[in-house]
Amino acid sequence: MNNNSNNQKNNKLSSEKYAYLKAEAEAPYKGLRKFIYLGLGASGAIGAFIFFAQLLAGKNISDNIYNLFVQITVIAIMVFLYRWEDRKKK
């Protein structure tokens, strides 16, 4: 009886491990990619805030407009990639 309960625990662990490994094989490093998207998106948001503040202050307007658009583009790409990553699992 005791042997049977140990086998059931081992089977349950192996099925959970199998499900995890299968999900990881279908989408390797998904969590890491989503973390990178969030980090780069946050970096773009901070940069956009800084360049927007410099535009409001009137500093080097021609360069700051370009840089602000680059940061907004980075944010848009990261939002798109993050949503695309979530859409893949459905």
Q: Of 10-19, 20-29, 71-80, which gets the smallest average pLDDT? A: 10-19
pLDDT reported for residue 28: 86
pLDDT value, residue 56? 95
| Residue from 31, 67, 66 nearest 46 by CA | 67
Q: Can you tell me the mean pLDDT for 19-26?
A: 81
- Token pair for 53: 């503040």
| The residue to which tokens 């780069």 are assigned | 40
pLDDT of residue 65: 95
pLDDT tens digits for range 40-74: 999 999 999 999 999 999 999 999 999 999 999 99
- Whose structure tokens read 């349950």? 12
Can you tell me the distance from the alpha carbon of 54 to that of 49, in angstroms, rounded to the nearest whole number?
A: 9
Compute the distance between CA of residue 42 and CA of residue 10 in angstroms, rounded to an integer.
42
